Amino acid sequence: MEPAKIIAGAERLDQYIPNLEGKNVGLLVNHTSLINGKHLLDTLTSLKINVVKIFAPEHGFRGNADAGEHIDNSIDETTGVPIISIYGDHRKATPEDLEGVDVVIFDSQDVGARFFTYFSAMQLMLEACAENNVEMIILDRPNPNGHYVDGPILEMENKSYVGMNPVPIVFGLTAGEYTKMMVGEKWINKAESLKLTVIEMTGWDHNTPYSLTTKPSPNLPTDQSIALYPSTCLFEGTMVSVGRGTYTPFQIIGVPETIIGDYSFTPKSIVGMSKKPKYMGQECYGYDLSNVQVKNQIDLSYLIEFYNKSKDKEKFFNNYFVKLAGTDQLQKQIEEGKSEDEIRASWQSGLTAYKAKRKKYLLYEDFE
Q: What is the pLDDT of residue 69?
A: 46
**Contact in structure between 267 and 280 (CB atoms under 8 Å):** yes
Q: What is the pLDDT of residue 64?
A: 47
Q: What is the pLDDT of residue 48?
A: 96
How many angstroms separate the CA atoms of 83 and 71, rounded? 10
Domains and CATH numbers, the chain: 9-211 (3.40.50.12170), 223-337 (no CATH)
Q: What is the pLDDT of residue 67?
A: 47
How many angstroms separate the CA atoms of 232 and 248, rounded? 12
pLDDT digit string (tens) for the chain, length 368 residues? 556 799 999 999 999 999 999 999 999 999 999 999 999 999 999 999 999 999 987 656 754 444 444 456 778 777 888 999 888 788 999 999 999 999 999 999 999 999 999 999 999 999 999 999 999 999 999 999 999 999 999 999 999 999 999 999 999 999 999 999 999 999 999 999 999 999 999 999 999 999 998 999 989 999 999 999 999 999 999 999 999 999 999 999 999 998 888 899 999 999 888 989 999 999 999 999 999 999 999 999 999 999 999 999 999 999 999 999 999 999 999 999 999 999 999 999 999 999 999 999 999 999 87
Q: What is the pLDDT of residue 72?
A: 65
SS3 content of the chain, % helix, strand, coil (to 5): 30, 15, 55
